[in-house]
């Protein structure tokens, strides 16, 4: 079959399914940025398909949930110890936390839910978890609007530090991508992760002071250090400081920065190590 004049030089051939070095890989994701801008919009729209109010729900959901929290914690339970503007405090906590929670949870499903796409078309698979996080970022926008409206209505004054919010959102976006990449590969390897994630996030929810002021309730030195070691606690503290004022410590900023860099770099490299086998 193979006669001698044919060259058997395979050096210029490539490994199928391999998307090159980190640089080429990132370039290929960048080339698919229109996927990132189109698909999240489809997904949000299809989430509300079959409802009467459609996309209005994306705004109505956060309004309703903040009303419930204000009613229960502001009026009935009266646990607003150590917080002057409790409704705004809770609004920031709930919306900021749920952005990362939803981003990582949907991101963890992105590989197994898109097997059809993976098996048919070759593209850098990290595009899928990044798309999930982008979808949740988009869904976070109405939440942010409700959050700021709540703050203004309850008497918070606009501050220069509000201008830092886009930076904070970017940091949270990067942190969430890192965690989503890890969760996506872990879920593709072990289906068990699906059962563990909700508990992990419930633990984080209470460990981040979403509904209560950690400064007012936690006096133990070691416990306080543990809270600071939790990136979700740090990011909530910094959001609240930027929006409502108050204090934020350097250790919180530092801890968040370390977590963001760590989760993102571990996420990218660990996810890419599984790249070849996501279609199985």
Partner 1 sequence: MESKERKIAVHLDNVVVDYEVFADKHLTLRRLAAQGFSGRESTMVHALKGVTNTIFEGEIIGVVGANGSGKSTLLSVIAGLLPPNLGSVRVRSQPALLGVNAALKPELSGHRNIEIGALAMGLKMDEISNQLEEIEKFTELGEALARPMRTYSSGMRARLAFSIATVRTPEILLIDEALAVGDKKFREKSLNRIREMQAEAGTIVMVTHNLGEIRKTCSRALWIDEGVLRKDGEVSEVLSAYEETEST
Question: Which residues of this protein are in contact with partner 1, per CB under 8 A?
Answer: 1-3, 5-10, 12-18, 28, 31-32, 34-35, 38-39, 42, 46, 114, 116-123, 127, 276-277, 279-280
Cβ of residue 47: shortest distance to partner 1, in angstroms? 11
Cβ of residue 43: shortest distance to partner 1, in angstroms? 10
- Give long-range contacts, CB 8 A cutoff, 24+ apart: 33-38: 35/127, 35/131, 36/127, 36/130, 36/131, 36/134
Closest to partner 1 by CB, 40 or 143: 40
Closest to partner 1 by CB, 117 or 226: 117
Cβ of residue 110: shortest distance to partner 1, in angstroms? 12
| CB within 8 Å of 210: residues ≥ 6 apart | 90, 93, 94, 97, 236
Contact 90, 66 (CB under 8 A): yes
Choose among 128, 64, 141, 55: nearest CA to 96. 141
Closest to partner 1 by CB, 10 or 75: 10
Chain centre distance of CA 67: 24
Choose among 111, 135, 138: nearest CA to 123. 111
Cβ of residue 169: shortest distance to partner 1, in angstroms? 25
Closest to partner 1 by CB, 2 or 78: 2
């Amino acid at each position: 079959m193979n006669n001698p004049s044919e060259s058997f030089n395979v050096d210029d051939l490539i490994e199928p399914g391999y998307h090159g070095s980190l640089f080429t890989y990132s370039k290929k994701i960048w080339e698919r940025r229109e996927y990132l801008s189109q698909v999240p919009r489809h997904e949000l729209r299809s989430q509300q398909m079959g409802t009467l109010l459609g996309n209005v729900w994306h705004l109505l959901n956060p309004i309703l949930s903040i009303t419930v929290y204000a009613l229960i914690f502001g009026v009935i339970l009266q646990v607003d110890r150590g917080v002057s503007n409790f409704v705004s405090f809770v609004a920031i906590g709930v919306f900021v936390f749920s952005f990362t929670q939803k981003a990582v949870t949907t991101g963890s499903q992105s590989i197994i839910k898109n097997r059809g796409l993976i098996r048919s078309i070759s593209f850098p698979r990290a595009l899928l978890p990044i798309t999930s996080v982008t979808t949740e970022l988009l869904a976070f926008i109405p939440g942010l609007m409700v959050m700021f409206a709540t703050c203004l209505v309850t008497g918070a004054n606009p501050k220069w530090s509000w201008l830092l919010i886009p930076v904070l959102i970017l940091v949270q976006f990067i942190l969430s991508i890192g965690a989503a990449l890890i969760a996506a590969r872990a879920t593709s390897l072990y289906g068990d992760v699906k059962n563990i994630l909700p508990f992990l996030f419930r633990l984080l929810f209470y460990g981040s002071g979403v509904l209560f002021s950690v400064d007012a309730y936690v006096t133990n030195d070691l416990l306080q250090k543990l809270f600071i070691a939790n990136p979700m606690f740090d990011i909530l503290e910094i959001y609240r400081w930027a929006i409502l004022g108050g204090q934020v410590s350097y250790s919180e900023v530092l801890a968040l920065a370390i977590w963001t860099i760590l989760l993102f770099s571990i996420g990218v490299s660990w996810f890419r190590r599984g790249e070849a086998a996501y279609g199985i």
